[in-house]
Amino acid sequence: MTLDLLAIAAHPDDVELTCGGTLLKSRAQGYRTGILDLTAGEMGTRGTPALRAKEAAHAAKILKVSWRGTLGVPDSDVQASRQYKLAVARTIRTLRPRTVIIPYWDARHPDHYNASTLAYEGCFLAGLKALPLEGEPFRPFKILYCTLFADVRPTFVVDITAHFKQRRNAILAYSSQFRPKGAAKRSKVFIPLDTLEDDMNLLARHFGNLIGVKYGEPFLQKELVQIDDVVDLPVRSF
């Protein structure tokens, strides 16, 4: 199977929170989309690995992705080691996505910034012809960084207004994380559902507001954006 767009992140639910609306929008535009979770999220305070896998599969259905896989990197120990870079490269050679969304390179959680390096370097390695790795060499055309939680100005914002409700459903598929039962509810790291809802709405509204729509998801690319028609540009100045 080959994809047009692949999102790579450290933990199941990272993609839903940072670029779920963009995956839904791309699917609606006719693109084949996918998710590569580097870890299974097994160090999470709540929920068993089996339960988290079930939730991730459910969320994948809601996001209408054609493919979702887990690389098997140990949770809380994501590192850009040779072994895992080759594993990312192998996946890239199989799925051949034109565009890959990866985490922004600066973050509070070490897994998140290490996931950024691991994903970037894995994508690069996949294109090396002399690499002793099975599969046809392939390098994605474009790398996009998710910047939703980063303190950085994005390069552009995707209007996800039409997909906001569906994205919310995908996030809430992780009920062990956001709607825990019993003793887990009293855990210190518990994210209450109303706080999560507030954050989801606030961030999506903030970035939507910056481009004059209701809800948006921000991204950064290292390259400059090329424009061919300066008359028909979106986002009004006044």
Note whether 11 binds Zn ion by CB under 5 A: yes
Note whether 46 binds Zn ion by CB under 5 A: no
CA–CA distance, 146 with 95 (Å, rounded to integer): 20
From residue 195 to residue 234, what is the string marking binding to Zn ion with x (rule CB under 5 A)?
----------------------------------------
Residues 6 or more apart whose CB falls under 8 angstroms from that of 196 comprise 171, 178
Q: Which stretch binds Zn ion (CB under 5 A): 11-19, 121-129, 133-141, 218-226?
A: 11-19
CB of 106 to Zn ion, least distance (A): 14
Binding Zn ion (rule: CB under 5 A), the pick from 3, 7, 8, 14 is 14
CB of 189 to Zn ion, least distance (A): 13
CB of 152 to Zn ion, least distance (A): 18
From residue 92 to residue 111, what is the string marking binding to Zn ion with x (rule CB under 5 A)?
--------------------
| Inter-residue contact 126 to 44 (CB < 8 Å) | no
Cα dist from 173 to 44, 138, 179, whole Å: 16, 33, 9
Q: Which of helix, strand or coil describes residue 112? A: helix
Tell me phi and psi for residue 34, to 5 degrees.
-155, 165
CA–CA distance, 22 with 18 (Å, rounded to integer): 9
Q: Which residues bind Zn ion (CB under 5 A)?
A: 10-11, 14
